[in-house]
Amino acid sequence: MKTCLRISLALSLAWFSACKDGPVEHSLPAPPKLCDCLEGSEQNATYRLTLQGQAAGWSHLNICACDQPEGHRLIWGKRQLSFMRGESRVKLLTRFVNQLDTQGAPVRLYTIKGQSDTEPMRLEATRLGSKLHIRQADNTHQIPLEPMALEEESFTFFLWSSSNKPVLDKELKRRVFSLEKGGYLDDTIKVTQILSDGSFWIAHRPGSIPGLEVKQLLDAGGLPIRIESQLGRLRMSAVRAKEASKKTLLSAPDLTPLMSASTQGRIDNPAQLAQARYRLRGLPAEITREGLKGPGQKVQSMPSSGEAYIEVRRLSEPKASGEIRVADARYLKDSHLLGIATPAIQALSKKLTDSKQSPWSQAKRLRAWVAGEIRSDMGMNFAAAPVVLRTRRGDCSEKSLLLVSLARASKIPARAVAGLVYHRGKFSGHMWVEVWTKDGWRPMDAALGGEQVSAARIRLEEVALGFGENGPGLLAGKALALGLRVDILEPSTSSP
């Protein structure tokens, strides 16, 4: 049985996706034209990507910028990111158009992105008065406009255009708007060295991933020549190179050490573990006592920064039946990752559930279908639930998203969580689901562990599925990258 070891890799590839990349082998729908330009300039580049010093893939860039008659700045481009996950080659494709005001704040943003063999996702934002109206798939919301906040996608490109030269040792602290997150972040950039040919080095601390340190060598026009990044043990680089051949063979880097926590102690029979105590060391500051609480898991103490003692026990199957209600309606809501309203999700939900059965019985049937019908495949890159249903493939994250979507479509409150599961002698990154019953939340796993999971797992966070939230599995991935250590204390197969 192969566990889902993708949290750290998802984190690293999220960084690569932030690297501007370009011309695509598979077409995506073109974004709308926002109007003509007075004069434009186009740039192209190809980057060779490495993880932990190992070749990881290619990133391509095609980007164009121009001034519009009304004084707005228009930046549009295409991207392609190619890499290996397991035995599968993954291609992430993006097309975008950003219309910015003279300060670099968004006027209108439009992005289409997706994996080459799946339906693309559309993200857009439009400035209307004092608000930014944001749409992700069929979901919309609005936030107050911050006129001085730069658009994240074009941040560095906008800062060093031909009319804005770098100043040595000048630190720039900027608010940026992230269309991906549907909210604002704080970024910091400092020019650390200016070379004789006009290129220059910057140090960048992006607000999207606290603790990530990025160094970039930019040419005189602000286009990256080299990018080096580090988060704990995770080291990444992107170096401008000659055009990558479509026939270039890719191999998956060995990231096994990054995907597992340093584990002290042993669990002889993980599937039957009824209870255990664990000591966690090296937790990121963002992982709180509240985040560590979950069904069957409680925090005993947090004696120092980054350290926690927790107790985990296997819960019995809920006995209560009948209609259930949960105070937080968020766990029934749709999102661009869940696609609850799509006809295919609705039809399957109705086919698999019976309102005469208890919600837990219905959830068990949904889990069994996902576990049995979705083929385990590391070649998907956090695909939305409708895409998983159509392709019938994915790993723990895709299976969890689909199970949450089907549960919510069946009016069963559900959420996705990320953490660690004990497998082959160590704790590794994993994602599973929690569903609400009259007896409270209950963990359920469509990839490993079955309906009622054992105590051989540690919940670290709830996974963000909607607007303005942290990225999926971000804190769990960060914990692994920073060198999380787990001590196994008092494991027992006897129930308390």
pLDDT value, residue 31: 61
396-409 vs 359-373: helix crossing angle, rounded to 10: 140
Q: What are the structure tokens assigned to 230, written together?
A: 């580090």
| pLDDT for residue 83 is more than 50 | yes
Contact call for residues 62 and 25 (beta carbons, < 8 A): no
* Three-point CA angle 143, 149, 155, nearest 5°: 125
| pLDDT for residue 3 is more than 90 | no
| Range of weakest confidence among 24-38, 92-106, 273-287, 412-426 | 24-38
Helix (H, G, I), strand (E, B) or coil at 381: coil
More confident residue, 11 or 153: 153
- First and final CA of the chain: distance in angstroms? 29
Instruction: List the beta strands (DSSP E) in 52-87.
Output: 54-67, 73-85
Mean pLDDT of the chain: 82
> Rounded to an integer, what distance in angstroms lies between the CA atom of residue 184 and that of residue 207?
9
Helix (H, G, I), strand (E, B) or coil at 205: strand
pLDDT value, residue 201: 95
| pLDDT for residue 22 is more than 50 | no
> Rounded to an integer, what distance in angstroms lies between the CA atom of residue 403 and that of residue 444?
9
pLDDT value, residue 10: 41
The 10s digit of each residue's pLDDT in 319-329 is 765 556 665 78
The 10s digit of each residue's pLDDT in 331-361 is 998 887 898 999 999 999 999 998 888 888 9
> Cα 450 to the chain's mean position, in Å?
25
Model pTM score: 0.82
- What single-letter DSSP state applies at residue 354? -
pLDDT value, residue 5: 44
Q: What is the largest CA-CA distance in the chain?
A: 75
30 confidence band (pLDDT: 50, 70, 90): low
474-481 vs 7-18: helix crossing angle, rounded to 10: 100
| Range of weakest confidence among 3-7, 248-252, 449-453 | 3-7
343-352 vs 396-409: helix crossing angle, rounded to 10: 80
> Rounded to an integer, what distance in angstroms lies between the CA atom of residue 254 and that of residue 9?
10
The 10s digit of each residue's pLDDT in 190-199 is 999 999 998 9
pLDDT value, residue 148: 81
486 confidence band (pLDDT: 50, 70, 90): very high
DSSP β-ladder status, 426-437 and 485-492: unpaired
Averaged pLDDT for residues 451-464: 89
* Three-point CA angle 145, 147, 152, nearest 5°: 85
Averaged pLDDT for residues 412-416: 94
| pLDDT for residue 470 is more than 90 | no
Length of the chain, in residues: 496
445, with CB counted inside 10 A (0-12, 13-18, 19+), is buried
pLDDT value, residue 465: 84
pLDDT value, residue 220: 82
Averaged pLDDT for residues 366-394: 86
Place of tokens 């040419």: 219
More confident residue, 233 or 324: 233
* Three-point CA angle 204, 46, 96, nearest 5°: 70
Averaged pLDDT for residues 299-311: 95
Averaged pLDDT for residues 209-238: 89
Domains, in order of start, for the chain: 7-241 (no CATH), 260-492 (3.10.620.30)
Place of tokens 């082998």: 25
pLDDT value, residue 56: 84
The per-residue DSSP string of 299-326 comes to EEE--STTEEEEEEEPPPPP---S----
Q: Is 463 left (phi over 0), alpha (psi -120 to 50) or beta?
A: beta
* Residues facing residue 42 across a β-bridge: 64
Q: Which amino acid belongs to residue 215?
A: K
pLDDT value, residue 273: 94
The per-residue DSSP string of 255-269 comes to -GGGGB-EEES--S-
